[in-house]
Amino acid sequence: MAASPAISAVSRIAYLASDVVVNSLSPAAPSPFQIALSAFANSSQSSAAVTNLPFGADAGETLLRHRSARLLSFTALANPQVLNHLLLHLPELSSTSTVFHVAVTSDLSDALVLQSSLPFVLYSRSAQQAHDHAVLASRLAFTESTAVLHIFHVGDETEAVDEVEGDRIAPFLFAEKQSPRGSEQKSTTDAAALLRIYQSAALATVALVRRALRPLTQHGASEPHTVIFTLGQAALDYEVEGVSFVDVALLKPLSPPTILGTISPSVTRVIVLEQIHRWSMKWTPLYLEVVSAVQHAELDPTPVVQSGVLGDASAITESDVVALVEKAASEPPASRLALGPLPSAQVSTPAPHVPKHEAAYTKILANLFSGRLDILNSPELISSQGGAATTPEFALGRARGELEERAELVDAVHQLLRDPDVSIEIHSLLSRWLGAKDDGVKSKQLGDELVAALEGEKLPSAAAQKILILRRLLAARSRWIIGSDAWAYDLGASGLHHAIASKLNVNVLILDTTPYSTRNSVDPHRRKQDVGLYAMNHGDVFVASTAVYSSYAQVLQAIMEADRYNGPSVVLAYLPYNTEQTPALEILKETKLAVDSGYWPLYRWNPAKERDGKEPFSLDSDFVKNELQQFLDRQNHLSQLTRSAPEVAAELVGSLGENLKQARKQRAQQAYNDLLTAIDAPPLTVLYASDGGRAEKTAKRLATRGKLRGLSTTVATMDSISIDDLAKEEIVIFVTSVAGQGEFPQNGRTLAKALHAAATHGDKPLSTVRFSVFGLGDSHYWPRPEDSHYYNKAAKDLDARLAHLGAERFVPTGLGDDQDADGPETGYKAWEPLLWKALGVDAVEVTEKEPEPITNEHIKVASQYLRGTIAEGLEDTTTGALAPSDTQLTKFHGIYQQDDRDIRDERQAQGVEPAYSFMIRVRMPGGVCLPEQWLIMDQIADEHGNGTFKITTRQTFQYHGVIKRHLKTAIQDINRALLDTLAACGDVNRNVIVSTVPSLSKLHRQAFEFAKQVSEHLLPRTSAYHEIWLDKKLVAGDALKDVEPLYGEFYLPRKFKVAVAIPPNNDVDVFANDLGFIAVVDKNGELAGFNVSAGGGMGVTHGNKKTYPRAGSILGFCRVDQGVDIAEKIMLVQRDNGNRADRKNARLKYTIDRMGLDTFKAEVERRLGYSFQPERPVSFDKNIDDFGWQTGEDGKHHFTCFVENGRIQDEPERDFKTGLREIAKVHKGAFRLTANQHVIVADVATEDLPTIKRLLAQYKLDNVSQSGLRLSSSACVAFPTCGLAMAESERYLPILIDKVEKICEENGLRNDSIVMRMTGCPNGCARPYLAEVAFVGKAPGTYSMLLGGGYYGQRLNKIFRESVTEPEILAILKPMIKRFALERHQGEHFGDFVIRAGYIAPTTSGIEWYDRMGGEGQYREVAVAA
């Protein structure tokens, strides 16, 4: 229901006037009050705190907790389940400043139950009157410290409201002094006194709204014989002879004089019409007031007072009023009159609205139990069963009835089996049905056969007739009750307890929609019970906690186990959203936060397993919350053991005591040593906040230099210290970089927030602290003038806050700028001497050599050929991480340590380490995977990863979310598939990629074999991999010795990438690689050799112009047999000449530009002993994949599936992971992964085509009808796992493409390919710098925008805008795409067009990438031009 003008007006007044608004949600979502209040909360008129209560919750307790507020407002649609809860609390609430705004549709019955306990009751017929009465009610409640009931009609959209300006509401209400509360207030029940209070407030309100406000409004005949009082929506604006109408706006206090003032001496009859259709007492409230006033007045003659019901106002005519008056004269005074059509006795209750997001679970139920699903409380039942049909009690009653009837059915089957007259055929069917009665599929099939047989033989027995009567129960049904987390607030009242304790075979699915990030914003006093724990404590209930946006497979498993369990089952389903407009990406993020923090653990509890002697609890996520852990602790085997063997418990406690003593002794010794060291040295504390490591290195270097000057220095992260501890320090130096839009790095945010909070409160806790700050930033990172304040914002803010808190700045803040000649060192070198001088140690002669910083080169050479302490780190169970030096080495083993950045802040607030996990990348040259290997890869994702795996731009698999204890097992499983992870990452040759050209089967086979040779030849030879991960068991061959003939102990300066391209398709982006081989075909179609390119590379650092992308340069042509040797020699030249001092300039592209291409080529040829042949002509025409079916030269068929951004996972209606697994089970060919992150089902024989096509269609893998833009897109992983990500990529690009697609479709370009790529950082994993349009992350929601790349990867693009957000992206692309559609040449691609049209200059070489960036001419970015 949308918010009508009346509801919007009342909500606005409540929001502006109140300190707290308590809103009761309606059963149909979303509530109109919720919509209106949300709109005000998001506006600039922020005022009240809004608390939304689930439908049916007891609002009285919440209102009483906020009784100290100056003004409280309660809003609700009239409903007995909501308002009846308030009755018990009204005596207490009546003396609080509370306004109850209750909206009704027609019947006033539900709202009027509150009137007897409250001193003031206002009634509004129209939206305008509702607005004015809302103001009046707020005034009355505040000034008199009393409760006011305001009943008003929802109305319709046609009503107009003249609203009071918002800034006038508060002065109007609060200018008047509030009356005393509680015991100090002299309460009165005298109607006359209350009426005077009302009149005073009404006069003040009239002065504000400039409209009349009267308790009663009379119109009609001046000398009437009949007066009609109306309490309802009908406006009886008729001129009926002898009849006067009185419209009631004040129902309480309604004093007798006020009523009698409308009854002139000529009146003989009074009719009281009230729009009350369901009233439990004989007489209605207004009638009692009127009849009492008339009787006590002793009028002569006394008018007859009659009661009546007011019906549908829209259908009332003047003749109906005349007929009513005539009928009143002829009816006995006690009879009940009626005006207008009354609602039928059977009121049609509208079915509650089912939010669209909930289909994520209901569709799973429908798919799993197709044909036998029975949702016992389905909204569809309301039309036939009434409003109670959706309650758990009703559903449980249905279930009990059906199960009892089915028991009768089984009884009848047993009886019929004993009947000697039954035929052998029916006897067999009866026996088979009994054996399969609980099988959903077989029971239906056998049941149908049994019914047909019984009807055919027409058996006369009662048992046979009973079976036919109950035939609907022959098929086993899956019975489900679906509800929301509102049931969890009161397990007894909601009926949920009865379902759990029923012992019936029924399943309950409870949807919890509370987003993790807003879990603490709900009323903390309204405790939601943990339904899972409650049910588990019953002992005989199956319980599962699931989240479809975290693990689709786990949801399926839990639901199927619940269905199989013989007894009650409770499945908790997490679906966090605020409104139906909440995007799926937001639900995904909230789900990850909840699951990964342990707030919403994924688990299954199956008591049936315990009865079989198995472990009943299965944890499907990494973390559990404390309450669940406590429950498990009570149940675990150790507890059982200590109960049965008390000596074990004593031994455990004794051992714990010894360990504790030893730990205390060690800490005491360390404290004593630290005390001796620092006894005479002046103290200096260095605190840093760093994401990338530069600020950390600067801080540690500063601390070391302080020690060399005789200072007692300590160095730590900012977040390792609290404000209280900081106040105890004497001298503190802060070193911080920036993250995002001037924010603090992750390990400095907690202290920064605490400092900000203290500054807001005006505290001065740091008056004894002396400080200085050094910041590291990039003045060019935010080039637009309006963004310039982000430069070093963290350091500047920190300096200001420390000073505000009373700390003394003893050295001015130092700022290091990446744009200076020496980068941040320029500013640092000027700042550090000031520091030593201020501390009085500038004259100290430093004789000891400063320790050399530890770099990757040191780590490699000291690693004993990539061993380090990895093996020891894997055994350390006290942390989920490895040592920092080992994380550099594990890259060579194909492993990256990561943590979930979605929940990093949350875990830091909890005081626990980040949620560490590992990414594993497989080495799979050419991206060719056999079906049996695919099945193992799929299994690894489920058993060790996060249930999904990703196809990377280097044609291999990548797993995320592998925790440390699963690392070794996962890698062993990969090796079991005859694959490995060695050299998939690190400063070595990475996975060699090959073009996938299905139509050129023979050429692809030759190129693939060549790629394997290159990969094997350049593979590191260390045995550390097999020693650490495979327990010295080799995959194949003899034992390897620790020697690196190619790499040496230092390995390469940086990574080295090789690609093999097969023209005309440059799908591997060969020019983006350090080394590229471009296939050249002779006149016979055979592979003659390769054109060799070198020096390609994508990585860049924002703002650092010493870094740039580069497209590879052609060195010449070589034969196939020369290729491996050339690959080796080019890599060795890089090994010996690459920049090992600066990793940002260590790639081959910088080596070539530093040496010069000719010099580099000559050095390669010198090592080869021969020269390259001249380049041979080849041509490319694209770098995207060909989707759909193709047939190769050998007659085999190949299908290219579109897998958006390479993520293999199951989603609702897109079960790609399951589909590919099912294909792998029957496929006899191979899978090929493409460098654009898609999958080719390759080498399908003609006779196998029907099977493969059926599976592709079944799992929607054959859908390649997406737009050309989407088919040409690509994105890296980025958040939440990549530690380098600055912005979203994989999760956001599909959303952006949805919006850009609409622009393309508007201009007739749906099927035109535009290569668009996105990365979360400038390292370029998705090869963005060769795309026609690219977006490179700079901060959350902010990207650099690049244009002008070559369609087939032959030309780099260039920065068009250095900083754009989504609205700016769409504003730029809309006119650009429209112009492209209208002005492009025949066959011209978008990247070429934007150059020809003057948007951007072409990039001719990597060194010139920054030249003329920012657009051309009229399209040039203003900040760049300036």
Place of tokens 């009508």: 4
Q: Which of 437, 592, 990, 1135 is catalytic?
A: 990
Tokens of 1080: 């050249």
Whether 536 has a pLDDT exceeding 50, the answer reads: yes
Nearest of 91, 145, 157, 158 to residue 118 by alpha carbon: 91
E strand or H helix at 302: none
Indicate if 1201 belongs to the active site: no
Tokens of 1413: 């960036």
Q: What are 472-519's pLDDT values in tens digits?
A: 888 888 999 998 877 766 555 556 777 787 888 899 999 888 888 887
Task: Give 714's strand partners.
Answer: 685
The four Cα atoms 875, 876, 880, 885 give a dihedral, to 10 degrees, of -90
Rounded to 5°, angle at Cα 256 from 254 and 259: 75
The CA-atom distances, in angstroms, between 343 and each of 98, 347, 350 are 33, 7, 15
Tokens for 731, please give them. Answer: 């001298």
Higher-confidence residue: 245 or 596?
245
pLDDT in tens, 811-861: 999 999 988 878 899 999 999 999 999 998 888 877 767 777 788 888 998
Nearest to 481 by CA among 506, 445, 456: 506
**pLDDT the model gives residue 45:** 61
Q: Are 1343 and 1337 in contact (CB under 8 A)?
A: yes
Specify the range with the lowest mean pLDDT, choosing from 107-116, 343-352, 358-367, 681-690.
Answer: 343-352
Amino acid at 604: R
Average pLDDT over residues 174-202: 70
1304 is catalytic: no
**Residue 989: CB partners within 8 Å, gap ≥ 6?**
983, 1014, 1015, 1018, 1019, 1056, 1057, 1058, 1127, 1131
Residue at token pair 């308590």? 22
Q: How far is CA 254 from the centre of its chain?
A: 54
User: Which of 333-337, 677-681, 751-755, 909-913 is the least confident region?
Assistant: 677-681
Distance in angstroms (rounded) separating the CA atoms of residues 1001 and 1194: 7
- How far, in Å, CA of 961 to CA of 1209, rounded? 14
- Burial (0-12, 13-18, 19+ Cβ within 10 Å), 1386: exposed
- Is pLDDT at 679 greater than 50 in this prediction? no
Sheet holding 337-339, edge to edge: 216-220, 243-248, 226-231, 269-274, 304-310, 337-339
789 pLDDT above the threshold of 90: no
Q: How confident is the model at residue 642 (pLDDT cuts 50, 70, 90)?
A: very low
| Active-site residue (options: 1110, 1321, 1338, 1361) | 1321
Look up residue 615 and give its DSSP letter: -
Looking at residue 1040, its pLDDT comes to: 42
pLDDT tens figures, 885-936? 999 999 999 999 998 888 887 787 777 888 999 999 999 999 999 999 999 9
Residue 177 designated active-site = no
Question: Amino acid identity, residue 573?
Answer: A
Q: Report whether 135 contacts 142 (CB < 8 A).
A: no
- If you average pLDDT over residues 976-990, what whole number do you get? 93
pTM: 0.59
Q: Which two tokens stand for residue 239?
A: 């001129």
Structure tokens that stand for 1395 in this block: 């150059």
Using CB atoms within 10 A of its CB, is residue 1012 exposed (0-12), middle (13-18) or buried (19+)? middle
| Residues whose CB falls within 8 Å of the CB of residue 1121, separated by 6 or more in sequence, listed in order | none
The residues that bridge with 21 in the sheet, in sequence order, are 50, 73
pLDDT value at residue 182 = 45
pLDDT tens digits, 518-534: 877 655 555 566 788 88
Query: Residue 901 catalytic?
Result: no
Residue 500 sits at φ, ψ, to 5 deg, of -65, -40
Residue 1380 burial (C-beta neighbours within 10 Å; 0-12, 13-18, 19+): buried
- Distance separating alpha carbons of residues 438 and 372, to the nearest angstrom: 12
Question: Whole-number mean pLDDT of the chain?
Answer: 87
Q: Can you read off the two tokens belonging to residue 611? A: 């009865």
Q: For this structure, is 1317 an active site residue?
A: no
Q: What is the DSSP letter of 560?
A: H
Instruction: List pLDDT tens digits, range 1108-1160.
Output: 999 999 999 999 999 999 999 999 999 999 999 889 999 999 999 999 999 99
Cα torsion through 535, 539, 540, 541, rounded to 10? 20
What's the gap between Cα 854 and its chain centre? 39
Of 1043 and 1259, the one with more pLDDT: 1259
Q: Are 383 and 352 in contact (CB under 8 A)?
A: no
Which of these, 99, 183, 177, lies nearest to 141 by C-alpha position?
99
Structure tokens belonging to residue 492: 């007894």
Instruction: From the candidates 929, 1118, 1282, 1304, give the one annotated as an active-site residue.
Output: 1282
Residue type, 154: V
Does the active-site annotation cover 929? no
Round to whole Å and give the CA distance between 564 and 542: 10
pLDDT, one tens digit per residue, over 1004-1055 is 889 999 999 999 999 999 999 999 999 874 444 444 457 899 999 999 999 9
Catalytic-role residue among 1055, 1232, 1355, 1361: 1055
pLDDT of residue 500: 82
User: Is a pLDDT exceeding 60 seen at residue 628?
Assistant: no
pLDDT of residue 303: 92
Can 1282 be counted among the known catalytic residues?
Answer: yes
Residues paired with residue 148 on neighbouring β-strands, in sequence order: 99, 120
Backbone phi, psi, residue 580, to 5°: -70, -15
Say if residues 1069 and 748 touch (Cβ distance below 8 Å).
no
Average pLDDT over residues 129-133: 96
Strand pairing class (542-547; 603-605):
antiparallel
8 Å CB contact between 1414 and 1424: yes
Q: In whole angstroms, what is the distance from residue 317 CA to residue 314 CA?
A: 8
Question: DSSP secondary structure string, 1310-1368?
Answer: TTS---EEEESSTT-TT-GGGSSEEEEEEETTEEEEEE---TTS-S--EEEEEEE-HHH
What's the CA gap between 741 and 786, in Å, rounded? Answer: 12
Please pick, among 1057, 1221, 1232, 1270, the residue that the annotation labels catalytic: 1057
Q: Which of 115-124, 126-135, 490-499, 1300-1309 has the lowest mean pLDDT?
A: 490-499
The bridge status of strand 569-574 relative to strand 507-512 is parallel
* Residue of 985, 1118, 1276, 1304 marked active site: 1276
Sequence-ordered list of residues with C-beta below 8 angstroms from that of 1184, at least 6 positions apart, any chain: 1067, 1236, 1271, 1272, 1313, 1315
Question: Which structure tokens are listed for 501?
Answer: 């304790």
Strand 808-809, strand 814-817: pairing: unpaired
* Cα 1020 to chain centroid, rounded: 41
Type of residue numbered 325: V
Tell me the per-residue pLDDT of 701-748, one tens digit each, with 9 for 90 and over: 999 999 888 888 999 999 889 898 999 999 999 999 998 778 898 889
The token pair that represents 1023 in the structure block: 């045995």
Which residues 6+ apart lie within 8 Å of 176 measured at CB? Answer: 139, 142, 143, 204
| Location of structure tokens 């005596």 | 91
Regarding predicted confidence, which is higher, 185 or 335? Answer: 335
- Which whole-number Å values give the CA distances from 1155 to 247, 602, 1097, 1098, in the listed order? 96, 56, 16, 19
DSSP string over 1134-1158: HHHHS-SS-GGG-SHHHHHHHH-HH
pLDDT score at 647: 41
pLDDT for 654 beyond 50 = no
Give pLDDT, residue 58.
79
Averaged pLDDT, 861-890 = 92
The answer to whether residue 1057 is catalytic is yes
Paired tokens of 770: 């002396």
DSSP string of 853-894, one letter each residue: PP-HHHHHHTSTTTTTTHHHHHH-TT-SS--HHHHHHGGGGT
pLDDT at 1343 over 80: yes
Distance CA 1244, CA 1235 (A): 21
More confident of the two residues 969 and 496: 969
Residues 6+ apart with CB under 8 A from 214: 249
* Phi then psi dihedrals of residue 934, to 5 deg: -60, -40
pLDDT for res 402: 87
Catalytic residue among 252, 589, 860, 921: 921
Q: What is the pLDDT of residue 283?
A: 84
Catalytic residue among 1232, 1325, 1355, 1361: 1325
Residue 1099's contacts (CB-CB under 8 Å, 6 or more residues apart) are: 1107, 1109, 1147, 1322, 1323, 1324
CB 1232 within 8 A of CB 996: yes
